[in-house]
Amino acid sequence: MKIYIAGAGAMGCRFGVQLSEAGNDVTLLDNWEAHIQAIQQEGLKVVGDEEKTVQLPIMKPVEVEGEADLVILFTKAMQLKQMLQDIETVVGEQTRVLCLLNGLGHADVIKEYVPESNILMGVTVWTAGLKGPGTVLMQGNGTINLQSLDASQEASGREITDVLNGAGLNATYDTDVVPSIWRKACVNGTMNSGCALLDCTIGELFASESGLKIVREIIHEFVSVGIAEGVDLNEEEITNYVMDISVKAAPHYPSMHQDLVQNRRLTEIDYLNGAVNEKAKRLGISTPYCQMMTQLIHTKEDIFGIN
C-alpha cells in the first residue's frame, strides 16, 4: 500500500518504520529541515528496543507527487491545518486519511479538506520520542483503536486496520471510538498540563493531595462536557484509567513537559483542556479548572517567548 506519513516526528517515524518493514511503500512528509537532511543523508536511526538504521524517503509535504492509498496524520495538533493544505493535491478520491493525533476537535478540521467517507479517526497508546534530528526512540508496545467517520465505510476502515496489523501495530476496528479518544484526551488533560506547569513527573503530581484534587476536577470537567456532547463516558471508569496510567508512568515527564519545559516548543493545550473549555462555553457549562490550566500554559508559552 502506498502510504504517506504526514508529520514525521516521533510517532510518524515509528509508524513509518513499522509499516515500511511490513512491505508498504512509505514516504515521510515533514518540514523540519535538519530532520529531513539527517534522514536523507544517513537514514533514519532507530534506538530503544532495537538499534538499526532504516532507509526511508522523506520530503517536504509540498514536494510530494502522486496520490496515496493512505495518509496517516501525525503532526502536532496546531500543525494539522497547514499540513492538510500542503497535501491537498495528493489526497485523491480513493485516499483514506487516518488521524491518530491526541486531543479533541480534529475531525472538524480534516472534514474541510477530505470527504467524510475517506476519514478514519482513532487513538493510539503506542509511544515514541525524538532523540534529535533523524533519530527516533522506539520502546515498548501499544495499541490502536480506529473507526471510519462515516459508518457506511466500515469495510474500508477494516481494510486499513488489517494494514496496520500487518505491521504489528495491534489495531482494532472500533464501532464507537469517540469515548476512547476522549479517555486519552483526559489522560493528557490531567498529566500533561499539570506536570508542564508544576515542572514535575507524573508520580510527583499524583502523590500530592492537592495535585490529585486538581486531577479529579479536570476529569470531572472532561466527563461532564463529553456527556453533554453525547459521548458515552463514565467518570469512575475514566478516573480508574487515569490513576492506573499514573502508576505505570510515575517516573516519566509527559510530552507537554518535554515540549514546553525541556524544548521550549508550543503545546497542544488548546486541543485538550482548551477544547473542553471552548465546548463548555457553547454548552453553558462551567469548566474553571480547564480554563485556568489553558491560560496558565499559554502564559508560560508567553514567558518563554515561543508564541
Give the residues lining the site for ligand NAD (CB under 6 A).
Answer: 7-12, 30, 32, 35, 74-77, 101-102, 124, 127-128, 130, 255, 263, 268
Beta carbon nearer to ligand NAD, 95 or 127: 127
Least separation, in Å, of the C-beta of 5 and ligand NAD?
10
Cα–Cα distances (Å) from 73 to 64, 287, 300, in that order, read 15, 30, 28
CB-count exposure of residue 176 (10 Å: 0-12, 13-18, 19+): exposed
Q: Supply 232's cell numbers.
A: 458515552
DSSP 3-state assignment of 119? strand
**Residue 163 CB contacts under 8 Å (≥ 6 apart), including other chains:** 1, 3, 19, 24, 70
Least separation, in Å, of the C-beta of 100 and ligand NAD?
6
Cα–Cα distances (Å) from 212 to 207, 208, 274, in that order, read 7, 6, 20
Side chain identity at residue 7, one-letter code: G
Give which of 170, 151, 153, 152 is closest to 161, Cα–Cα: 170
- Provide the angle, in degrees to the nearest 10, between the axes of the packed helices 178-198 and 273-283: 120
Least separation, in Å, of the C-beta of 34 and ligand NAD?
7
The per-type count for the chain, helices as H runs and strands as E runs, is 12, 12
- Whether 160 contacts 188, CB under 8 Å: no
- Whether 85 contacts 60, CB under 8 Å: no
Least separation, in Å, of the C-beta of 270 and ligand NAD?
12
Least separation, in Å, of the C-beta of 37 and ligand NAD?
12
Q: Supply 77's cell numbers.
A: 495538533
Which residue has the CB atom at the shortest distance from ligand NAD?
A: 9
DSSP 3-state assignment of 27? strand
Beta carbon nearer to ligand NAD, 9 or 274: 9
Rounded-to-10 torsion of CA 16, 18, 21, 27: -10
Beta carbon nearer to ligand NAD, 11 or 163: 11
Which of 45, 184, 279, 281 does the annotation list as catalytic?
184
Least separation, in Å, of the C-beta of 239 and ligand NAD?
21
Catalytic residue check, 281: no
Beta carbon nearer to ligand NAD, 9 or 157: 9
Active site residues: 184
